Structure formats: C-alpha cells, structure tokens
Amino acid sequence: MEIKKQNGLRGTLAVPGDKSISHRAVMFGALAKGTTRISHFLEGADCLSTISCFQKMGIEIERKESEVLVHGKGLHGLRAPEGILDVGNSGTTTRLISGILAGQKFCSQLDGDASIRTRPMDRIILPLTAMGADIRSKKENGCAPLLISGRPLHGIHYSSPVSSAQVKSCVLLAGMYADSPTSVTEPFLSRNHTEIMLKYFGAAVTSEGTAASICPEPELEAREITVPGDISSAAYFIAAGLLTPDSEILLKNVGINPTRAGILKISRMMGADITLLNENHHGEPTADILVRTSALKGTVIEGADIPTLIDEIPILAVMAAFAEGTTIIRDAQELKVKESDRIAVMAENLKRMGADVQTTEDGMIIHGGKPLQGAVIDPHLDHRVAMSFAVAGTVCPGRMDILNWDCVKISYPDFYKDLYHLI
Ligand code: S3P
C-alpha cells in the first residue's frame, strides 16, 4: 500500500463499531436467555474470532449485513467445543473467554496466531487459579495455547497489578460462576464496557473508583445493542484531520466513554481544534467529533490517562513527531505486550521517516518538528501501527510504503477505503 501526501481532507465518516463493545455484546448475548440483536457490529477479524468460538460452543449466531443476532442459551447453556477454540489475533477474545470457560462443566483448549502465542496470559492464570480454576499454559511459558478444565469457582477480591480491562473482565466473568461475590481493583481505571453492559443484561455489578464487583449466578436477559463508532478507529482520522493542511472532518456517532476518551484530552492539550456535537449520555456516551487542521505542540502523556488511550499511543506518537517540541510518553510499559512491542516498533518506523525518537523502559521521548519523509514501514503485522503510518503518509512528502498493509482487517477492514473517501 502506497500513501502519498495530501491537502484538504474533507468529509463525513461513520467509523465502524467499537471493537471492545462488539466482543462483549456477542459474549454476553451468548450467556443471556433469548435473542440479542446487535447493530453496527464491527466485522473485524478479532470480533469474528469471538463469534466463531461461541458458535463452536453451540450458540447460534446469525450475521445479517451490519446486524448480528445471538441466540443465547443462558449462563449454563454452552456446550463442550469440538476441537480447539481459535482466538486468532485477539487478546480480548482469549482473556475474556478464559474467565467464562473456567467455570464451565467441560474442558477446552484456546489457541491463536503467532502474536497471541507470545502475549502474557499469566495475568489471568494467576487470579483464575486463586478462584479455584484449572487453567494452564500448555507450553508452560505463560502464553497460549491454554488448557482449561472447567470447575466450580470461589469468589475473590483481586487487586490487579495492571490496569487492564481484559484482566478485570476475565475475573468478573469468572465471578458469575463463583460461590460468592467477586471484586477487582486496579491501579487506574481501565475501560468499563464490561461493567456497563453486564448491568444492562441484568447482572448485579457495582463500581466505585477503580473497583468493580459482581454477584454470582446472574440471570442475563437478551437485549438490543447499538454499538457506537470506535474511538480507537476514529483516532486515525482525528490525527489525519489535525495534521493535514486545510482539513475538516466530521466523525459521526463515536463512543466517548471517559475510560476511552484520552485521545480527545491529549489532542486538545497538544492544541487540537476538536468540537463535540450531538452528545448523547445514555448508556455508552456518544458524540459527533468535528476536527479541523491545527498546529500541534508536544506534551506529557502519563499516569491515569494511559489506560484511557492505550490503543491510541501509536497514532499519538505520529502526532508527536509532527508537533513542535518534545512529547514524553511514560507509564506505558503495557505497550510492549500488545499485538507487537509498540514502543520498539513505533520507534523503529518513526526513525525510518527521520524522526528523533528515544525509547525508554515505559514509553518514548519524541522531539517533534524534524523534517520527515515517507519510508518503507514494517508494522510487524500490527493493525494499529499500519494505520498510524498510513496517516503519517498523508502528511509528509515522499512515498510511504506499508508492508503487510492488510493487517488492518483485525479492527478496521475498510480503513483505506475510508481514508481515500476523504481525499
Ligand atoms: C481491551 C482492553 C485493552 C485494549 C484492547 C481491548 C478490551 O487491553 O488494549 O485493545 O476490549 O478489554 P488490556 O486490557 O490488555 O489493557
């Protein structure tokens, strides 16, 4: 994929449905009684992995255009899968499903692609084991493949060392099969879609500060769910609109849940002209986001903001490289265990463009405003890295050549089509 410098990105776009919310809608729909109707579902490869896992466990799931119907069978309605559950590239599928599988009356095995086989699963093995689960890393390296032998679980109060919605959700989902309430506390609040949606399905979930808890054996009932646009996908067009001269982009109906909206806060700190229109605060909050070209300056990204923008750090690093002054990203060591080591891979590719980037133990220091040019980019099969450099390609001179560009299908199959729609 070759991307060339552009002027004047203009137009209106409805980005695809939120990936985190799409996963959860299928999972909770499968565990609810009755038919859950999901509209604006994200048809990315990750969410399709979740669908296929539940189909293998006997749940009928129909896909009709952008609507998905999940014919749920209740909390105890899953059946033993034949063969391995294939999670593909999806950490969310792996970690959330493990919490559900730990409490079943059958054994299962989870496996995925080369990237998933390097991602840390001890972070869920530890709390699930404390709940009485039998979950093992087949190769005893703390990674997938995972062997799970379902059994009765006990409620725990888990103090997680990482701010991770996947860990929190895994433990809360296992808590539905436990003999007493379960709670999870994390250092900083991570995305709270599980808490919001499980409550909507009828579970007794409470949240206070960075703690969330759940009562066992909820009777989940089927619901209608409209998935908001994914702010993590919108982030590429926010950056493209800010960085490309003479641009104005309207992004329709994007999720702006505060646990996800760090990109808006940090962009504004960098000097971004962003206006929210048609805000709606029922359930998952949404808004239309209007972005206009802005001169950006460097900033510091750290602490409690990190979980609210964890997937947007690659595109924020691109914005920082084009901004005037220095941007410091710290407290972001989680980036090393994403689909790729995003600290190393972003630094490697930004340097190929001529950027001044230093990696640190828990982030990056980017001295912005250096003359940048197109380069051959290796995203290491990481969808968010590929999209970040596609945006960079619309801003700088010279040809941007992105290897394995189609890895964007994980979260945004029509990404390049939508980008060209604005040109
Ligand atoms: C996700 C949580 C985050 C995020 C991932 C999706 C989720 O991961 O990076 O893309 O849907 O719960 P962590 O929980 O590992 O931070």
Q: Determine the pLDDT at residue 64.
A: 87
Q: Determine the pLDDT at residue 318.
A: 98
Mean pLDDT of each 10-residue bin along the chain, 423 residues long: 86 98 98 98 97 98 91 98 97 98 98 97 98 98 98 98 98 98 98 98 98 98 98 98 97 98 98 98 96 98 98 98 98 98 98 98 97 97 98 95 96 96 90
Q: Which atom of ligand 1 is nearest to the CA of 307?
A: 16
> Known catalytic residue: 311?
yes
- Pocket test of ligand 1: the residue of 20, 166, 196 to mutate, having most ligand atoms within 8 Å of its CB, is 166
> Token pair for residue 43?
């048809």
Q: Where are the beta strands (DSSP E) in 165-237?
A: 182-185, 205-208, 211-214, 224-226
Q: Are strands 107-112 and 67-73 parallel, antiparallel or unpaired?
A: unpaired
Distance from residue 333's CA to the centre of ligand 1 (Å): 14
Give backbone dihedrals phi and psi of 408, rounded to 5 degrees, phi first.
-65, -15
Q: Which atom of ligand 1 is nearest to the CA of 232?
A: 10
- Pocket test of ligand 1: the residue of 20, 22, 28, 92 to mutate, having most ligand atoms within 8 Å of its CB, is 92
Q: Which residues contact 59 (CB under 8 A, 6 or more apart)?
A: 30, 70, 71, 72, 73, 77, 78
pTM of this structure: 0.98
Q: Which atom of ligand 1 is nearest to the CA of 337?
A: 15
Catalytic residue among 18, 46, 305, 311: 311
Q: Determine the pLDDT at residue 65.
A: 77
Pocket of ligand 1 (CB under 6 A): 20, 92, 164-166, 169, 190-191, 310-311, 334
> Token pair for residue 193?
């879609």
Distance from residue 166's CA to the centre of ligand 1 (Å): 5
Alpha carbons 32 and 358: distance in angstroms, whole number:
48
Give backbone dihedrals phi and psi of 306, rounded to 5 degrees, phi first.
-55, -50
Q: b vs e for 227-249, b when ≥16 Cβ sit within 10 Å of the residue's Cβ?
A: bbbbbbbbbbbbbbbbbbeebbb
Q: Determine the pLDDT at residue 191.
A: 98
User: Shortest CA distance to 148 belongs to which of 202, 93, 88, 105?
Assistant: 105
Residue nearest to atom 11 of ligand 1 (CA): 20
- Pocket test of ligand 1: the residue of 164, 170, 338 to mutate, having most ligand atoms within 8 Å of its CB, is 164
